[in-house]
Amino acid sequence: MKNLIALCMMVIGLAASVSAETLRPGDAIRLTLRGVSAEEQQKINGEYTVGDDGRVSLPLLDHLVRASGLSPNGFARAVEKSYKDGGIYASPAIDVVALKGQQATGAVISVGGHVKRAGQVPFRQGMTVIQALDAAGGRDSFGGRNVLLLRDSRQYCLDFKQLTHKSITLRANDTLQVEMKAALIDRWKGSDKAVRALMPN
């Protein structure tokens, strides 16, 4: 009987340990890339946060990588596969450490153009376009409806008059640029197709 109880306690303890090592939304992680040049490592190495949807935005990838439910080691393998499948790195070696109880440091949103306080605002998980602009004091008197979102070397044009555009969730290190209001008719210069890529599936 004692042996059975001891066995049950070991199983419970192991399950708790596995659960504690599983990544969840809001967790901070430190990712290190090896097997490539130092210059390439600098593009990737850093601290990241698992998003509310359980995924992580990483440099050079055009999709988010699922982390929720995976161990740090399992997530590292998923990241390696993503970089290989994308033809970005041939043989990447990824190390991931979970920073339990910590927030990723240094993550910001850069806000510029026609806002009242251009500069960097601290990024927080779930931050939207309008929240980032509000953190920069909002648009100034010359601010137009076209807001450029720069992400991973790509540019998207958002329409400030569209609630769905203002509610788009940002990623750490995104850049927002508010363009000047047109002299005659302030038309939106973007496309619905491009913006749909930013919407949650």
The residues near 69 (Cβ < 8 Å, ≥ 6 apart) are 22, 23, 54
Residue 56 clears pLDDT 60, i.e. is over it: yes
**Which residues have CB under 8 Å from 116's CB, separation 6+?**
136, 137, 138, 139, 140
pLDDT tens across 76-98, in order? Answer: 999 999 999 999 999 999 999 98
- Please give the single-letter amino acid code of residue 122: P
Model confidence pLDDT, tens digit, residues 99-123? 865 555 567 899 999 999 999 888 8
Domains of the chain: 2-99 (3.30.1950), 108-196 (3.10.560.10)
> What is the structure's pLDDT at 89?
93
Looking at residue 180, its pLDDT comes to 95
What pLDDT was estimated at residue 104?
A: 57
Above 50 in pLDDT, residue 17?
A: no
pTM: 0.54
- With cut-offs at 50, 70 and 90, classify the pLDDT of residue 74: very high
Averaged confidence pLDDT in the chain: 84
Burial class of residue 9, CB neighbours in 10 A (0-12, 13-18, 19+): exposed
Closest CA to 147 of 181, 177, 172: 177
Averaged over 175-179, what is the pLDDT? Answer: 96
Quick check: helix, strand or coil at residue 99? strand
Pairing of strands 46-49, 55-56: unpaired
Is the pLDDT at 3 greater than 80? The verdict is no
Q: Is the pLDDT of residue 66 over 80?
A: yes
Predicted confidence (pLDDT) at residue 46 exceeds the cutoff of 80: yes
User: Which pLDDT tens digit goes with each residue over 128-166?
Assistant: 999 999 999 999 999 999 999 998 778 999 999 999 999
Strand partners, 157: 148
